[in-house]
Each structure stands twice: as C-alpha cells, then as structure tokens.
C-alpha cells in the first residue's frame, strides 16, 4: 500500500514527500480510510507507530475539501509538549496547503498567552489544546466551537491518569453533538472504554503493535556523501570476522554497479537481482549459504526472501525507504538469537528518512566517524531539511508559532 491509495489531496502528498515518508505505517493504513469515511474511531497505538500522521492527514484532507472554513478540528493533548509536537507535524504536512493550526496550552508566560489569544481571534482550522487551558477559554466565552466537525483525543489514557476526565466531559458539552470523534490511547484499561462509550458513537476499533528490530543486532550508521560510501564498505570489510555479508541497494541497476565495483576491488561479491535467470539466482543463494560466497548484493526483494543463518553483517548502501523495510533488512542478521551488525549509510538527501526510521523504532542509532582518509561527511541535521521545490506558500515562508499566521492568508 502507498499513500497514493488514500486519494489524498496531491498537495498533501507533496508535504509527505518533503517529510521523508514513503509508505504508510500499519496504523496509517487502517485509520486513514476510516477517518476519511467519517467513522468514529478508537485506536490502541503507542507513540512511534505513526499515530499522529494517521489522524492529521485525513483531517487536513477533509479541511481542504470544506467549502466554508471555520474552526474545524479540536485535538486534545495531555501536555503542552505533545501539543507543540502535533502542531509541528501539522505545519510540516501543510507546507504546500493553506491550513492553519494553533496550539493552546497553559503554564506559559503572559506573552505566550497573548499570542495564543491573538491567534484565536484571527481564526484557525485546527486547535491543539491541553484540557485545563481550553476549558477556561470555553467558560470565559473566548473560544467557541459552533462549527466543529472533529474531536481528537490523543494519548487519552495519559489524560485520564492526569485527572482530566471531568474537564474533558465539560469540554465535550461545549461541542456540537454531530461530530466525528477519534480517540488514540497507548493502553486500553477499562476506564478508557467507559470514557469512550460516553463520547464516541459506534466506533471502529483498531489495535496496533509496533515492529521492533531483534535484540541481538548492533545498529550503526555513517552520515556520508555518496562518493564516500564505497570507501567505507572497503574499510568495514577489512574486518574478516564479517564472513557472511549482505549489501542492500535501492535499485537493480545499483546492485549491478556495486557488484562490478566490489569485484574490481577484489571482493568475492555477487549481485542478486531480477534480471538473472532463476537457476543463476538459486546457484548464488547456494554459494552464499554454503559460505563459499562472502558477499551478496541485492534490493529489498532479497530482504523478504532470504533465510540464511550466520549472516553477521548487513550494509544498507542506501537508507531504506521506510521503517518496515529497515527492520526486514537488518533482520537478515542476528537470526535465532545470534548477534549481528547492521550499518546504514545516510546521505544528505536521506537524513529526514533516517530520522523517521529512528523515531518509529524508538532507537537513536550511533553515527560512526568516517575513516580520516575518506574526508569529512556532511553534518547530520535532519530537522532542518525543508522542501526546496514546489509552490511556496503565499506568505513566502511558514509562520513561526511565536508570530502565528496572518489571518488574511486564509482563503475567503
């Protein structure tokens, strides 16, 4: 499945591309169609599953397809940190579209509060709020949700643990009863079910577990320029403890080119790709299994098909397109409780993609120093990668949240 299958607005797909997402995660595959259909939804999913995008993307799509724009969606979050994170993701996805959001939370300085109030007066499509502050605003009449279409409760279990049950029930009383309600929670204790029964209508239920790489894998990465990759491969393979090695490349043409280059450098390496005859492929696999071939080079097809014991090194010559592929690829090593090493090359273009993989598997992978003779690599700074192509916003650049977006940038 790809993001194209959801029929989302093409400009949202541009936003996804610039965020480095190539394939939906399981929660996104399941939740996005349900939310687009307008169903109430209760989903058990932890941070790291891609849950934020699972509700943000369909909501942005729906807002884009709304004729009259009013405050459309309320997202309740237990903490200001999570509210800000959600807001940042919305900002990333809506880089090429005109949808605005405001985080509203308590505990900040008077100046922040003034900014929040000003932004609310200017209007926004989405408010992301902590329950306490929002309730105060509703009670004072400063905020109204007359035309609200969607209520999203993120990390509902945490909100209840923090004692927000009563506040949320009061907030719900200020909302139209005709709305779509979506609840995400990392756990599903009985109190969440009771709570859900009171505010959701006939919800679809989803339960998602996170994939995790096997324990015995030593994961490492190099932040590189493309021209440095081959030098590092040669350097790593000097260690002859790596007796059985898989190198993954993104396309079959790259597999062929790498095969030539490795053989020229004197390594015992063969490419495994779809242009080979079936018997050639079988023979390569046999050689690899019997250890008479040290290195096999392939694409992701190899990551799903090959079950060979004793592979002790996997090299991702190109950063895998998404976390599931990463887990499949590195899972070729450290099978059956043995140990193995997985090394990934991250070029400048793939930095965002790699940081998404780290986020989704919940591990920060150490970045190793490039051998001195190969020169300096690029700086690792995935957060700063911004799209460089496509339409620019009418206001030239995204507003920062201390300045908020100008209200006249909204379509009439």
Give the interface segment with ligand AMP, choosing from 48-56, 132-140, 151-159, 302-310 (CB under 6 A).
48-56
The two three-digit tokens of residue 130, written as one number: 């902590």
322 sits near ligand AMP (criterion: CB under 6 A): yes
Separation of alpha carbons 200 and 93, rounded Å: 27
Planar angle of CA 218, 221, 223, nearest 5 degrees: 170
DSSP-derived letter for residue 193 is: H
**282-312: b (≥16 Cβ within 10 Å) or e:** eebbeebbeeebbbbbbbbebbeebebeebb
Q: Please enumerate in sequence order all residues whose Cβ is within 8 A of that of 193, keeping only pairs 6 or more positions apart, or say none.
A: none
How many of the other CB atoms lie within 10 Å of CB of 164? 20
48 sits near ligand AMP (criterion: CB under 6 A): yes
208 sits near ligand AMP (criterion: CB under 6 A): no
Considering the complex, state which of residue 48 and residue 387 has its C-beta at the smaller distance from ligand AMP: 48
The least CB distance from residue 333 to ligand AMP, in Å, is 22
Considering the complex, state which of residue 314 and residue 360 has its C-beta at the smaller distance from ligand AMP: 360
53 sits near ligand AMP (criterion: CB under 6 A): yes
Give the interface segment with ligand AMP, choosing from 23-31, 144-152, 261-269, 295-303 (CB under 6 A).
23-31
The two three-digit tokens of residue 166, written as one number: 């009563």
405 sits near ligand AMP (criterion: CB under 6 A): no
The least CB distance from residue 50 to ligand AMP, in Å, is 3
Separation of alpha carbons 370 and 244, rounded Å: 23
Using the rule CB under 6 A, which residue among 18, 30, 52, 100 binds ligand AMP?
A: 52
Contacts with ligand AMP in 330-389 (CB under 6 A)?
A: 356, 359-360
Considering the complex, state which of residue 48 and residue 371 has its C-beta at the smaller distance from ligand AMP: 48
Considering the complex, state which of residue 61 and residue 69 has its C-beta at the smaller distance from ligand AMP: 61
The least CB distance from residue 104 to ligand AMP, in Å, is 20
Considering the complex, state which of residue 91 and residue 167 has its C-beta at the smaller distance from ligand AMP: 91
The least CB distance from residue 258 to ligand AMP, in Å, is 25
Query: How many residues lie near ligand AMP (CB under 6 A)?
Result: 16
The two three-digit tokens of residue 271, written as one number: 């490419």
Helix axes 10-18, 80-93, angle to 10 degrees: 120
Give the interface segment with ligand AMP, choosing from 17-25, 136-144, 225-233, 301-309 (CB under 6 A).
17-25
Separation of alpha carbons 396 and 383, rounded Å: 19
Q: Please enumerate in sequence order all residues whose Cβ is within 8 A of that of 223, keeping only pairs 6 or more positions apart, or say none.
A: 346, 351, 367, 370, 377, 378, 379, 380
Site residues for ligand AMP per CB under 6 A: 21, 23-25, 28, 47-53, 322, 356, 359-360
């Amino acid at each position: 499945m790809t993001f194209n299958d959801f029929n989302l607005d093409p400009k949202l797909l541009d936003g996804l591309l610039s965020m480095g997402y190539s394939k939906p995660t399981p929660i996104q595959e399941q939740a996005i169609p349900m939310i687009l259909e307008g169903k109430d939804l209760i989903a058990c999913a932890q941070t790291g599953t891609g849950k934020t995008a699972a509700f943000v993307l369909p909501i942005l799509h729906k807002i884009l397809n709304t004729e009259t724009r009013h405050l459309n969606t309320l997202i309740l979050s237990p903490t200001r940190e999570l509210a800000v994170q959600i807001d940042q993701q919305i900002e990333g996805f809506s880089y090429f579209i005109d949808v605005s959001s405001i985080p509203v939370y308590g505990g900040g300085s008077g100046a922040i509060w003034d900014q929040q109030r000003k932004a609310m007066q200017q209007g926004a499509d989405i408010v992301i709020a902590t329950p306490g502050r929002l309730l105060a605003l509703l009670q004072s009449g400063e905020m109204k949700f007359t035309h609200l279409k969607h209520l999203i409760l993120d990390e509902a279990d945490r909100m209840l643990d923090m004692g927000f049950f009563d506040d949320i029930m009061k907030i719900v009383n200020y909302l139209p009863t005709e709305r779509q309600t979506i609840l995400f929670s990392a756990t599903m204790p009985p109190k969440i079910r009771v709570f859900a029964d009171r505010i959701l209508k006939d919800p679809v239920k989803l339960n998602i577990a996170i994939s995790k790489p096997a324990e015995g894998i030593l994961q490492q990465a190099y932040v590189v320029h493309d021209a440095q990759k081959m030098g590092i491969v040669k350097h790593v393979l000097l260690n002859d403890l790596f007796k059985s090695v898989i190198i993954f490349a993104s396309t079959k043409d790259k597999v062929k080119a790498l095969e030539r280059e490795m053989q020229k450098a004197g390594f015992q390496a063969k490419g495994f790709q779809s242009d080979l005859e079936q018997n050639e492929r079988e023979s390569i696999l046999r050689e690899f299994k019997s250890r008479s071939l040290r290195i096999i080079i392939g694409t992701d097809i190899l990551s799903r098909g090959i079950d060979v014991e004793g592979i002790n090194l996997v090299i991702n010559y190109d950063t895998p397109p998404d976390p599931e592929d990463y887990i499949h690829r590195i899972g070729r090593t450290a099978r059956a409780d043995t140990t193995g090493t997985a090394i990934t090359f991250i070029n400048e273009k793939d930095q965002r993609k790699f940081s998404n993989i780290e986020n989704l598997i919940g591990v920060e992978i150490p970045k190793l120093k490039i051998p001195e003779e190969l020169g300096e690599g690029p700086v690792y700074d995935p957060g700063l990668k911004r799209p460089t192509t496509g339409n620019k916003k009418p206001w030239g650049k995204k507003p920062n949240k201390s300045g908020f977006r100008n209200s006249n940038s909204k379509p009439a």
